[in-house]
Structure 1
Amino acid sequence: MSTIAFIGLGIMGSPMAVHLQNAGHTVVGHNRTAAKARPLVEAGGTAASSVAEAVKAADVVAVMVPDSPDVEGVLTGDDGVLANAQPGTLIIDFSSIRPDVTVELAAQARAAGFRYLDAPVSGGEAGAKNAALSIMVGGDAEDFSAASEVFDVVGKTVVHVGPSGSGQTVKAANQLMVAGNIALLAEAVVFLEAFGVDTEAAVTVLGGGLAGSAVLNQKAGKMLGREFAPGFRIDLHHKDLGIFTSAAREQGVVAPVGAVVAQLMAAARAEGDGSLDHSGLFNAIARLSGRS
């Protein structure tokens, strides 16, 4: 079993770190809000007061923070991983960030004697809590194999998708598809409600046909109940769609549906819904029909 430093103990990182501790690893966690380390400590792990303290004796450093600048700070700051962990340490970045930033950070890490994988996840809070995440991994195949003791604890579908940056590219495509599904589900619910249909019955039958999806299974109930406690916030999905649209433009890829969905997510955020679960995109779509 390994000593694992886990940086970022939020909605996703906390249950992942707890699973690793429960699996027999020694997990040292750090979060900017110290209270968020409590579940890990209750599971037998340790809370560190800084990134430097967390990583100094780690075999593996796992990172799960919100955005590219956060990952850069965790890795390259004076208190960061590259300055304080032991060379040879395996860094696994579970965050969802820009592919080009990942490629640069991977190069810096390798130049400093570290191993590096980008391993963004899909599955949301439920997937993290149930250790059923889908993990798309970029980096060297040998490092991917070495990380199996971590991935097998927190993930259900774990696939090596290519060299550094590939995991982030696949995650951007994932976020496009999820957002599109949420938007269409929201439109469908608004449509059904406008006709006075039994929406719970409608969702049940839709879920049994070609319209069925993980998004429908996990998010329809939130829309019907108008309950949008965050599992994955609109703010973060807005960020991820920005990653997708920027990368698509750089490669000359035309994504007209993606552009519309990105604007809808931006509108939801501008209207004050950024802290809601991304299923709260329903509010923005309902407002367009005067049904908020």
Structure 2
Amino acid sequence: MSDNEDFAVGFIGLGNMGAPMAHRLLDWPGGLVVCDMRPEALQPFADGGATPAKTPAEAAEQCGVVSVVVLDDAQVRAVVAGPEGILRTAAPGTVIAVHSTIADATAVQLAAECAERGVEFVDAPISGGAPAAQRGGLAVMVGGSPAAFEKVRAPFSRFASMLVHAGAVGAGTQMKLARNLLHFIAFSAAAEAQRLAETAGLDITELGKVVRHSDSHTGGPGSIMLRDTTDPVEPGDFWFPIFSHVRDLGEKDLSLALELGQRLGVELPLARQALGDLGTGLGVGPGHIAKEKS
């Protein structure tokens, strides 16, 4: 057993996400301690060799790292700082890792409370869903000190294939919120595309298959997120001809989609905004089609 695996890991919250994450820690060299309000959630882990705990405080007194996967800010506060919370028993040097998506301000406040006890706090939201957790393929965005990041690296690597040290406490949550902003705006755009296709008499289940197939090859929206700044792209920059080409294709196709929507009587507000914003967002400015339509 290496030095960074000689501590027990606690896991609080064994729901749809927490259970598959914790399952991958069952053979953690230092041992796994689990806590959940539901006895039926604890039993499979106890059968697998984990130590059940009745409260977060009971779990924390045995562990060097405690992961938390509960519903919201209120539950996180209760688990960390409540009467039977982790801070009641956590030893100095313990790292509390919250994987729930909470407010970044909540993370900063809890980190300050933890620091008073000599305990480290990291906000470590996750991306990828339960299937990724089951196969150890999650992305984890960590906000916290370099020392805390190093301590959680080994246990987190059991359920994640990508670990990003986003910055200080709160940065992990901020990165997750930016990632999910893209996710849910894309869902709204998908709904708009389905309305257009359905009104045109197309099979929208087949459209969905095409989208998933093509995105698996192109990478979807992430395929343009390759620069380290959102500043305008200078004409001599490597990216200028690439993003100008993307803009020109995008403006053409968005314009054609808007013309189709107008003929069919389908409002496409996201497409209209995208036509005006695409070139500027890419950093190369609007193309001739966007300028003509403005």
Q: Is 1:195 matched with 2:200?
A: yes
1:9 to 8, 14, 17: 14
Deviations 1:225-266 (Å, cap 9, x if unpaired)?
xxxxxxxxxxxxxxxxxxxxxxxxxxxxxxx98xxxxxxxxx
Corresponding residue number in structure 1 for 2:106: 101
Corresponding residue number in structure 1 for 2:235: none
Deviations 1:33-65 (Å, cap 9, x if unpaired)?
232223323432122211122111111111111
Q: Is 1:171 matched with 2:176?
A: yes
Alpha-carbon RMSD across the aligned residues, in angstroms, is 2.3
Contact 2:57 2:87 in 1 (8 A): no
Deviations 1:179-218 (Å, cap 9, x if unpaired)?
1112222332343334342444433333344696679xxx
Find the aligned partners of 1:162 and 1:34 in 2 and give their Cα distance: 37
Counterpart mapping for 1:81-160 below 5 A = 81-160=86-165
Find the aligned partners of 2:135 and 2:118 in 1 and give their Cα distance: 34
* Larger RCO, structure (CA 8 Å, separation 6 or more): 1
Contact 1:30 1:49 in 2 (8 A): yes
Q: Is 1:69 matched with 2:68?
A: no
Contact 1:123 1:133 in 2 (8 A): yes
Corresponding residue number in structure 2 for 1:204: 209
The TM-score with structure 1 as length reference comes to: 0.68
Find the aligned partners of 1:38 and 1:185 in 2 and give their Cα distance: 41
Q: What amino acid is aligned across from residue 45 of structure 2 in structure 1? A: L
Which range moved further: 30-39 or 72-81? Answer: 30-39
Find the aligned partners of 1:182 and 1:76 in 2 and give their Cα distance: 36
Deviations 1:85-123 (Å, cap 9, x if unpaired)?
222211111111111111111111112111221101111
Q: What amino acid is aligned across from residue 26 of structure 1 in structure 2? A: G
Find the aligned partners of 1:20 and 1:40 in 2 and give their Cα distance: 10
Deviation at 1:24, TM superposition (A): 4.0
SS of the equivalent of 1:21 reads coil
Find the aligned partners of 2:203 and 2:189 in 1 and give their Cα distance: 18
Corresponding residue number in structure 2 for 1:60: 65
Question: Relative to 1, partners in 2 of residues 1:181 and 1:89: Cα closer, same or farther, differing over 3 Å?
Answer: same
In the TM superposition, structure 1's runs of 4+ consecutive aligned residues that sit over 3 Å from their partners are: 22-25, 193-196, 198-201, 207-215
Question: Relative to 1, partners in 2 of residues 1:46 and 1:166: Cα closer, same or farther, differing over 3 Å?
Answer: same
Find the aligned partners of 1:176 and 1:154 in 2 and give their Cα distance: 24
Counterpart mapping for 1:196-275 below 5 A = 196-209=201-214
Q: Is 1:50 matched with 2:55?
A: yes
Find the aligned partners of 2:186 and 2:27 in 1 and give their Cα distance: 34
Corresponding residue number in structure 2 for 1:248: none
SS of the equivalent of 1:159 reads strand
Larger Rg: 2
Contact 1:14 1:37 in 2 (8 A): no
The TM-score with structure 2 as length reference comes to: 0.68
SS of the equivalent of 1:20 reads coil
Contact 1:207 1:213 in 2 (8 A): no
Find the aligned partners of 1:91 and 1:184 in 2 and give their Cα distance: 37
| Identity %, equivalent residues | 33
- Between Structure 1 and Structure 2, how many residues are aligned? 217
